[in-house]
Chains A and B, each alone.
Chain A
Amino acid sequence: KNEVEQSPQNLTAQEGEFITINCSYSVGISALHWLQQHPGGGIVSLFMLSSGKKKHGRLIATINIQEKHSSLHITASHPRDSAVYICAVNPGTASKLTFGTGTRLQVTL
């Protein structure tokens, strides 16, 4: 079993829809990261969280440390949001990242 699980694996939404991607982890962590990978392959860091909630524009990330669960929300989705969203954690006190398998999001007009 992977230490970091994401759901769903694939998601198709229409423009304007509210999207939620979930991440569960089974180990103690010091932080959780949400990353975005575009079709060209490049990876961009969206959020780093150790507690609570963060918001950047239309993106919101939350984490519940007790339940070992995080969610990434996209409000008013747009076709340019189409990408793979990857949840990653710093396990224990490590600096390295352990990754989920990613959620492939496609937003259509």
Chain B
Amino acid sequence: DSGVTQTPKHLITATGQRVTLRCSPRSGDLSVYWYQQSLDQGLQFLIQYYNGEERAKGNILERFSAQQFPDLHSELNLSSLELGDSALYFCASSEPLSGSSYNEQFFGPGTRLTVL
């Protein structure tokens, strides 16, 4: 158990709908990362938050947005869903950065999104 929790575990929805994925980082971790794992693209970085602020953006579609709340949990919102959005969505957290820009990342169990 990494200490990172994600809900829900599974989500089945229809095209055009909107869903929210939730992530709670390990206690004390300030960074939250969102990653998408699809069969054709593999694992890809979407977005990073650090202590409530957006820190870095990757291949995140305009239909997707995220935020990190004062209690440090994060939500990833996916709207106008398409079949191709079906994937495993992982969040990861890491300790506060101290001097270096990188730390070990601890992954949540993932949310499996199926768009029908």
**Interface, chain A (partner B; CB < 8 A):** 30-31, 33, 35, 41-45, 48, 86, 88, 90, 93-102
Question: Whose C-beta in chain A lies nearest to the C-beta of B100?
Answer: A30
**Which of A31, A41, A101, A102 neighbours the largest number of chain B CB atoms within 10 Å of its CB?**
A41
Q: Establish whether residues B90 and A95, one from each chain, have CB atoms under 8 Å apart when the complex forms.
A: no
**Once the chains are docked, how many angstroms separate the CA of A2 from the CA of B7?**
31
Chain A hits for B105, CB < 8 A? 33, 45, 97
B: residues with CB less than 8 A from A are 2, 31, 33, 35, 42-45, 48, 50, 55-56, 58, 88, 90, 92, 94, 97, 100-107, 109-110, 112
Q: Tell me the complex Cα distance, A35–B33, Å.
A: 16
Distance in angstroms between the alpha carbons of A72 and B101 in the assembled complex: 24
A3: min CB distance to chain B, Å: 12
| Beta-carbon contact of A95 and B43 below 8 Å | no
A-B contact pairs, 26 of them (CB 8 A): A35-B107, A41-B110, A43-B90, A45-B104, A48-B102, A48-B103, A48-B104, A88-B43, A90-B102, A93-B102, A94-B101, A95-B48, A95-B55, A95-B56, A95-B94, A95-B97, A95-B101, A95-B102, A96-B48, A96-B58, A97-B45, A97-B105, A98-B45, A99-B42, A99-B43, A102-B42
A-B CB proximity, top 5 nearest: A43-B107, A99-B43, A90-B102, A96-B45, A93-B101
For the complex with contacts A43-B90, A45-B104, 13 further pairs of A-B residues with Cβ separation under 8 Å are A35-B107, A41-B88, A43-B107, A43-B110, A44-B2, A45-B107, A86-B43, A90-B101, A95-B48, A95-B55, A97-B33, A97-B43, A102-B42
In the complex, the answer to whether B107 meets A42 with C-beta atoms within 8 Å is: yes
In the complex, are the beta carbons of B104 and A95 less than 8 A apart?
no
| Cα separation A30 to B104 with both chains bound (whole Å) | 12
